[in-house]
Structure 1
Amino acid sequence: MNWIGSAEMLKTSIFASQFMESAFCACRFKTVVVKKLVIVGISLIGFSAQAKVSDGGNTVPTALIFNGKLQSIESRMRDYDIPGVSIALIQNRQISWVANFGWKDIATQQEVTSDTLFQVASISKPVTAVAALKLVEEGKLNLNTPANEYLQSWQIPKNEHNAASPVLVKQLLNHTAGLTVSGFAGYEVGKPIPSITEVLEGASLFGRLLGQNNANSPSVEVAKTPGTDFAYSGGGYSVLQQLLVDKEHTDFTHLMQQKVLSPLGMQQSTFQQPIDNVRADFVATGYMENNKPVAGHYHVYPEQAAAGLWTTASDLAKFAIDIQNALHDDSGVVLSQASAKTMTSPTINQAVGLGVFLMGANIDGQGYFMHDGWNKGFSSTMLAHKSEGYGVIILTNANKPNFNKELVIGLMLEYGWLITS
């Protein structure tokens, strides 16, 4: 299903504090200098492939501190049984290097390259949030307006929870709408795919057997009073998807291409579900336990806003950098500085912004904005500092999010990021 482990823990800011505490504690183990080398390939221990690096002349670590011990990235991949990884490191609001390890597809022995497309699952949400905030800047949306005033093809059902307190647009962005359905399982390639309105309506098993609705998730509805609490909801972002489509009178794939992906030069990226034949050759195969490939190589997610983005590490780094640029000196391509600050400022609690989660001291522009993602056979991480201009993108074709967390901490230690967090 769509991974929400980190997000669920962020309900009370516990994950953010534990993550930072773990990284700080690990600092005491860094008593050796990690050797570096400008490289074009690293032999993988236990792998037949080689790490391919597009580094622009910058140095790339050959080993990092993992759990207090100096280890190579590829050895941890072997320990976790991860086929492929793509990493983009951000320094000074620029891509410093991109490193690619292992296999895009094990059976065909195709290696991960900088052009390999990964599903980034819930990292689709902050990208969608930027599109929504762009429409706010254009005067087409108001964050404090009830979502049903913009929805045309479907309406949030009224019940005892939202009769007096309608769901606002802002509440869709920061998971305070009280809406159900935390994540989605996706659909096998070649199987019937529901429309987004069918996803929102949900379907009973009986209904699916009769072919009335192909959705494999329950209906999206309000389960608690909007605005009172954080409750992670992919369903809420599916409502936002329909709202944006209704407002712009275009399909979601085109809308996201026009508002976010093309302006940022994210040329490889797309929200197409299923993905087109042109990009199919670049797609990584997702893997489950024991390197078992996902049937059909990956699942299809009509819940595009919640889980549908295909991207590369460098493309996603461009997205994070644009938010950093907007925050730094209002030089963002998509959002203004004011909108970027709104997005990366605490809302319901210190760990929740609009479309992103927050880590570290969120005072005077400090701290990180981040999001994780987990679709069937894929896990991903985006982490970027709000004021210091550094960050990292990690994309893998395996369901092993703990590897991502270890790698993030290792890179934090290697580059001294914790000093300014």
Structure 2
Amino acid sequence: MKNRKLARVLSALMLTGAMGMAAAQVPADGGTASLEAALAQGLRPSVLKAGEPLPRWSLQARMAHYKVPGVAVAVLRNGEVIYAAGFGVREAGTTDAVDADTLFSVGSVSKVVAAATSLQLVAQGRIDLDRDVNTYMTSWRIPAAPGIRNPTVTMRMLLSHTSGLTVHGFEDYLPGEKLPTLVQTLDGKPPAKNDPIRLEREPGTESDYSGGGVMVEQQVIEDVTGTSLVEAARAQVFDRIGMRRSTFENPLPARRGNVAKAHDKEGRLTALPRGWQAFPEQAASGLWTSANELGAFVGALIKSYQGRGDFLSRDMAIRMMTEVSPGARGLGPELSGAGTTRRFFHNGDNDSYHAGFEGYLDSGDGFVILTNGKNSKGLRGEIRNALSDALGHGVKPLIRTVALDPGASDPADYAGTYRLDAGVPMDLRGELADRFEFDALEVKRTDGYFTVGPVGEPDESSPLLPLTPVRFLASRYDVELRFHRDAHGIVRALSVETPTARAYYRRQATPPVSLDAGGADPVRKGGGR
């Protein structure tokens, strides 16, 4: 671990619960003093309501709040890990400290490492991104799908989640549970816990996150190389970067040592007697890695993209970091931003572990976050905010809502039913076709406040936090709603927006419009213009 002395200083600050001012930006010379402040006093939420003071939380305090025993982080500057450290313990109730080499399960972050394995095979001419993957597989094939036009699935589609294949994610397996083979997973046969992985729409027409598609990718890798993913990833990725402890082996053998154990929402050890679950869907969610080594992987991708590394060719790295329409993902990672804020990232969530990484392609900065508690998803976000603030790119600044008068007449008529306009091209709807796939929305007003959710499913509603009189944050879905009030004062539609996608919903049964007495301007019945 680099900067071991700094890590000890930071740990001391953490143990004393130091508090203070917001973290400053990391100096351009790679100094790490502000990282001390970021983790010791700079954790924060993503959204604050009007009038709420900005908290300055310590990592120690938030770990206690979320009941998360252990955390590891790494920070990159110019494509190199300049800081890596562990905090807390691998197992609650012990003194087994987490360090930068502690192994954590990283959930769907696995998909990006699997993608890098595939892209190495593409670079070697062993896989073509745009060839039918059924032509590569000898152990299993995507079954015929009657009624689906153009059923050809390619590696480019598998990596970008545009394949049209089913199964979003997978369940964990406890010690003692029998693990399925890859073919059993693909066919959804016991002991696999998932449905069969099958085509449900024409490949290439819609963005739909599919862990099932990534398992097809794994089958391609194994059939092309004649080895397991464990061996293929070691040869194509881990050995090239120096990731000596990282592995797709499942269940992870205890002999590897220095493993962050799994904890439930109360911070208690779970998945006994071993202390961690197994993830037989290896390419989709089975990677075990450390802050040091995942940081090195992120750095290798950054340097390849910038043309100063040899892990991937620059051309291949650029392809990896280019959006595949109609989604917003590249060949493995999620992508966002432009210019100096251009970034690639991915989060991972298994039952007892939450992880994530982010890399800035222009500057070469980045970070890795690993945790070992069921409640740590919120903690991961707060750490992400602190590290992003410290790096100083302004990618995800604090969002402050505004106070609207509950009795104001303008927003009073937002309530109603809105139906998706399916005529909006899927290229624009993008990721929302997957994570916000509702055909009809209901906006309700209660005590002056609004909520939004799918029609007929009140338990799925999200509060709407006002950003302007017409823009609201639906925090549950991490999307923004924009109400469209026309020149006659009538709310006719709303848009659901993210930085990379937009869906359009038309209001049902909008207030009637009539002509005034002179037959001139249309007005709303019962009200003014």
TM-score range, shorter chain: 0.7 to 0.9
Aligned-residue CA RMSD (Å): 2.2
Q: How does 1:170-319 map to 2 (within 5 A)?
A: 170-203=156-189, 213-279=190-256, 281-296=257-272, 297-319=275-297
For residues 123 and 308 of structure 1, the distance between their equivalents in structure 2, rounded to whole angstroms, comes to 9
For residues 286 and 38 of structure 1, the distance between their equivalents in structure 2, rounded to whole angstroms, comes to 25
For residues 37 and 109 of structure 1, the distance between their equivalents in structure 2, rounded to whole angstroms, comes to 17
Q: Which letter maps to 1:244?
A: I
1:241 Cα deviation from its structure 2 partner: 0.5
CA deviation map 1:245-280 (0-9, x unaligned): 00000111011000001110011111111123431x
Partner of residue 122 from structure 1, selected from 108, 126, 133: 108
TM-score by length of 2: 0.66
Partner of residue 370, structure 2? 395
> Are residues 1:152 and 2:138 paired?
yes
Q: Which letter maps to 1:288?
A: D
> Are residues 1:415 and 2:400 paired?
no
Match of 1:187, SS? Answer: coil
Partner of residue 91, structure 1? 77
1:110 Cα deviation from its structure 2 partner: 1.3
Partner of residue 12 from structure 2, selected from 36, 39, 42: 42
1:366 Cα deviation from its structure 2 partner: 4.9
For residues 396 and 169 of structure 2, the distance between their equivalents in structure 1, rounded to whole angstroms, comes to 34
Partner of residue 344, structure 2? 369
Question: Does the 8 Å contact 1:65/1:413 carry over to 2?
Answer: no
Q: Which letter maps to 1:159?
A: A
Match of 1:71, SS? Answer: coil
Aligned length: 365
Question: Does the 8 Å contact 2:341/2:395 carry over to 1?
Answer: no
Question: Does the 8 Å contact 1:179/1:235 carry over to 2?
Answer: yes
CA deviation map 1:86-144 (0-9, x unaligned): 01011121111112111100143311112210000100001010111111110001110
Cα distance, 1:83–1:277 mapped onto 2, change above 3 Å = closer
- Greater share of helix: 1
Cα distance, 1:272–1:229 mapped onto 2, change above 3 Å = same
Partner of residue 360 from structure 2, selected from 385, 399, 415: 385
Question: Does the 8 Å contact 1:193/1:215 carry over to 2?
Answer: yes
TM-score by length of 1: 0.82
Question: Does the 8 Å contact 1:173/1:355 carry over to 2?
Answer: yes
Partner of residue 86 from structure 2, selected from 97, 100, 107: 100
Match of 2:89, SS? Answer: strand
Structure having greater relative contact order (Cα 8 Å, sep ≥ 6): 1
Question: Does the 8 Å contact 2:205/2:326 carry over to 1?
Answer: no
For residues 419 and 125 of structure 1, the distance between their equivalents in structure 2, rounded to whole angstroms, comes to 23
Cα distance, 1:41–1:410 mapped onto 2, change above 3 Å = closer
Question: Does the 8 Å contact 1:294/1:376 carry over to 2?
Answer: no
Question: Does the 8 Å contact 1:45/1:75 carry over to 2?
Answer: no
Q: Which has the larger radius of gyration?
A: 2
Question: Does the 8 Å contact 1:317/1:393 carry over to 2?
Answer: yes
After the TM superposition, which of the residue ranges 91-100 and 149-158 deviates more from structure 2? 91-100
Cα distance, 1:199–1:419 mapped onto 2, change above 3 Å = closer
Where structure 2 has 5 or more consecutive residues not aligned to the other structure, the ranges are 1-5, 18-29, 46-53, 398-529
Question: Does the 8 Å contact 1:259/1:334 carry over to 2?
Answer: no
For residues 226 and 70 of structure 1, the distance between their equivalents in structure 2, rounded to whole angstroms, comes to 47
Q: Which letter maps to 2:247?
A: T
1:316 Cα deviation from its structure 2 partner: 0.2
Question: Does the 8 Å contact 1:373/1:380 carry over to 2?
Answer: yes
Partner of residue 340, structure 1? 317
After the TM superposition, which of the residue ranges 121-130 and 186-195 deviates more from structure 2? 186-195
After the TM superposition, which of the residue ranges 247-256 and 348-357 deviates more from structure 2? 348-357
1:46 Cα deviation from its structure 2 partner: 9.5
Q: Which letter maps to 2:193?
A: N
Match of 1:100, SS? Answer: strand
Where structure 1 has 5 or more consecutive residues not aligned to the other structure, the ranges are 1-35, 48-55, 204-212
For residues 312 and 147 of structure 2, the distance between their equivalents in structure 1, rounded to whole angstroms, comes to 33
CA deviation map 1:149-201 (0-9, x unaligned): 11110011111354533111111101111111111112112321110110001
Cα distance, 1:350–1:249 mapped onto 2, change above 3 Å = closer
Partner of residue 327, structure 1? 305
Question: Does the 8 Å contact 1:92/1:388 carry over to 2?
Answer: yes
CA deviation map 1:46-85 (0-9, x unaligned): 99xxxxxxxx984332221413322211111112221110
For residues 323 and 374 of structure 1, the distance between their equivalents in structure 2, rounded to whole angstroms, comes to 22
For residues 181 and 107 of structure 1, the distance between their equivalents in structure 2, rounded to whole angstroms, comes to 37
Moved over 4 A (4+): 43-47
Identity %: 32
Cα distance, 1:420–1:108 mapped onto 2, change above 3 Å = closer
Cα distance, 1:72–1:277 mapped onto 2, change above 3 Å = closer
Question: Does the 8 Å contact 1:388/1:420 carry over to 2?
Answer: no
Partner of residue 63 from structure 1, selected from 41, 50, 67: 41
For residues 172 and 395 of structure 2, the distance between their equivalents in structure 1, rounded to whole angstroms, comes to 40
1:370 Cα deviation from its structure 2 partner: 0.2
1:324 Cα deviation from its structure 2 partner: 0.6
Question: Does the 8 Å contact 1:176/1:230 carry over to 2?
Answer: yes
